[in-house]
Amino acid sequence: MTDTTDRAQKPTPAFIGASWIALLLGMGTYFIGLFNAHMQLNEKGYYFTLLVFGLFAAVSLQKSVRDRAEKIPVTNLYLGLSWCALLISLCLLAIGLWNAESLSASEKGVYGIGFAMSLFASVAVQKNVRDLARFKGEEEPEDEAIRSQDPFAQ
């Protein structure tokens, strides 16, 4: 066992539940706004894709940062791409909402808050999933195999 595993604590059921509820509320708010919006289908697709892209980028960045903190190899390129992807998704949402003439200010706010809440909650959910896997001992053999076979190991 590594010393990071020794320090890992099992997330409480309250934190796990709160994280999932926050994720579902954020995504639900965003999707209800999209469903009820009076915009073309291609515009709805744009906002849907931004949410999916943003969620992936946030989870990828969180995993990369945590891997580095736990001395699991992560290339600078991947870490940089994770940061760029998250920033791009945030910028594209801001630009899209700024230029959305058909949306009122309150609708724009709902999208922004739903997006931000979803990104934050996705990071918390991913952290819980990883901590539970580590606590149960499910992740360690895979991590050891990755460390021993990774040609980019530092």
Residue spans per domain, the chain: 13-138
Give the span between the Cα atoms of 138 and 85, in whole angstroms.
Answer: 29
> What does the pLDDT profile of the chain (154 residues) look like in tens digits?
445 545 567 888 899 999 999 999 999 999 998 998 888 999 999 999 999 999 999 999 999 999 998 888 999 999 999 999 999 999 999 999 999 888 889 999 999 999 999 999 999 999 998 888 888 776 554 555 555 555 555 4
d(CA 136, CA 11): 12
In this prediction, residue 44 carries a pLDDT of 92
* Contact in structure between 64 and 80 (CB atoms under 8 Å): no
